[in-house]
Amino acid sequence: MNEFFYMGGHGVYVWSAFAITAVVLVLSLVLPIIESKKLRKRINQMLEQEQD
């Protein structure tokens, strides 16, 4: 099992690449959701101001 993580001396590079990829994928999913919520909130505020 230890050899699996060590990967013949290349484990640091392999696992860091996996980690960076995972972070990028998560951010690619989360950031648009956050921006969408902000935009919807802003649009709703603008619509409420127009109605007043």
The count of structural domains within the chain is: 1
DSSP class per residue in 12-26: HHHHHHHHHHHHHHH
> What is the domain extent for residue 30?
2-51
**pLDDT the model gives residue 21:** 98
Helix and strand numbers, DSSP H then E, in the chain: 2, 0
How far from 13 is each of 5, 6, 9, 22, 28, CA to CA, in Å? 11, 10, 9, 14, 22
CA distance 27 to 40: 20
**pLDDT the model gives residue 52:** 75
Model pTM greater than 0.75? no
**pLDDT the model gives residue 4:** 87
10-residue mean pLDDT series, the chain (52 residues): 89 95 98 98 96 83
